[in-house]
Structure 1
């Protein structure tokens, strides 16, 4: 019997032919949609007008001569005000952080999304077991208040301590001490004119440490005041 010749190339799978036809039909369909569609320049400019004004841009007056042009001049002097305020906030905190660090006061900036924490060590802000700031620390507090008042975000002032028991004085626990320190700073913010409805004070005592209370260095890290700024 004669031997069958081997096929040089394999046949194309049947599904591939159907897939190619489907892609061709879809391409034809979208070309027809594009050719049949018309863009109304007037409606397009009206959409741009609404978006511009809703995002803080200047009011756009669409005159007939503008509708005949391909470009409509738009101005956005107040565009994205929150982004500008956040940049101002970042600059203010960086400036104050540098001042504090030069004075030997440890300060850090921690950001989680729209929440910014400005953390200040309290060893040079408050006496041991006391809630009244040192006289030399008061200018830094007022400076921080003035800079934050320019951006006008909500601020929660948090007081934190280490786990060393309070001995003597008028406070019975670290929780009371931390709350009174936060409240003392809040009162100073009110004196410098910060809006009352944007302020709050909380005391956490030793219950939210950022380091283990096992060494003097770590306990010093936990003695702090945090300014929690909601920049959303």
Structure 2
């Protein structure tokens, strides 16, 4: 007895169904890319992750959490210059046996020489002590060979003056100018490399709550700098190059 042959059912082959699904997904993918051409990076990553999940890259599960892009912080280029300058000055101070009351620190992107008030001035006075002159002479000798500007800053504590015609701002400026004037009169540093500025009590090193802390805040600083325009950053500046000779 002859065996009956099965009749093939009509319709597309089975492989065509899978192929059609893949083409449809690819078309959807490219339409999505075109419509989101101006997307930011995070949203784009989310869309790509979702599409990868649809294609089974993530095991058939949607990826809902997209890690935020990491932010890489790059240190300022001049940090290396500051470090090398700091090392050189410390070496020179040791070689010259500079007074230990002169401290060298890295501050505000520059190297700073710091001298306490007690070395240079009497309390409330802007007249240099006689014993301050050799200290300042050695400081000038330290700065002179360096191709840098020296910004002389005067700082005070927050104790107000008893007379209304004098303030901590006035005292800080007068002290900075007294140091600048000494450098100019002794021909230790050219005026083109000097400027004087007074901050009063506005930039303390320590809280003005004890006599010891107030003594720390009464100081003169030499900020050595070669980059940037300092005139736009200082509130109360007197540039030596713009002043008449003393």
Bucket of the pairwise TM-score, normalised by the shorter protein: 0.5 to 0.7
Residue pair 2:82, 2:110 contacting (<8 A) in 1 also? no
Residue pair 1:171, 1:177 contacting (<8 A) in 2 also? no
CA RMSD of aligned residues (A): 2.8
Partner residue in 2 for 1:21: none
Partner residue in 2 for 1:132: 127
Structure 1 residues 118-129: aligned runs within 5 Å: 118-129=113-124
**Structure 2: how far apart are the matches of 1:216 and 1:109?**
23
**Residues 84 and 174 of structure 1, relative CA distance in 2, 3 Å threshold:** closer
Q: Which runs of 5+ in 1 are unaligned?
A: 1-14, 16-80
**Structure 1: how far apart are the matches of 2:127 and 2:176?**
10
3-state secondary structure, aligned to 1:176: helix
Aligned match of 1:195 in 184, 190, 193? 190
1:119-143 per-residue CA deviation (whole Å, 9 max, x = no partner) reads: 1111231011111111011111011
1:140-196 per-residue CA deviation (whole Å, 9 max, x = no partner) reads: 10111122111131110000000111235x961011001000011011122333121
TM-score (norm 2): 0.53
**Structure 2: how far apart are the matches of 1:87 and 1:193?**
23
Residue pair 1:175, 1:204 contacting (<8 A) in 2 also? yes
Q: Which runs of 5+ in 2 are unaligned?
A: 1-56, 58-80, 228-246
3-state secondary structure, aligned to 1:229: strand
**Structure 1: how far apart are the matches of 2:219 and 2:140?**
17
Partner residue in 2 for 1:117: 112
Partner residue in 1 for 2:168: 174
Matched, 1:89 2:89: yes
TM-score (norm 1): 0.56
**Residues 127 and 229 of structure 1, relative CA distance in 2, 3 Å threshold:** same
Look at both structures and tell me which one has the larger radius of gyration over its CA atoms. Answer: 2
Query: What is the count of residue pairs matched by the alignment?
Result: 147
Partner residue in 1 for 2:99: 100
Matched, 1:228 2:227: no
3-state secondary structure, aligned to 1:109: strand
**Structure 2: how far apart are the matches of 1:88 and 1:171?**
43
3-state secondary structure, aligned to 2:153: strand
Partner residue in 2 for 1:65: none
3-state secondary structure, aligned to 1:219: helix
Shift >6 Å, 4+ stretches: 81-86
Report the alpha carbon displacement of residue 208 of structure 1 after superposing the two structures with TM.
0.7
**Structure 2: how far apart are the matches of 1:115 and 1:178?**
21
**Structure 1: how far apart are the matches of 2:197 and 2:175?**
9
Higher RCO by CA contacts (8 Å cutoff, separation 6 or greater): 1
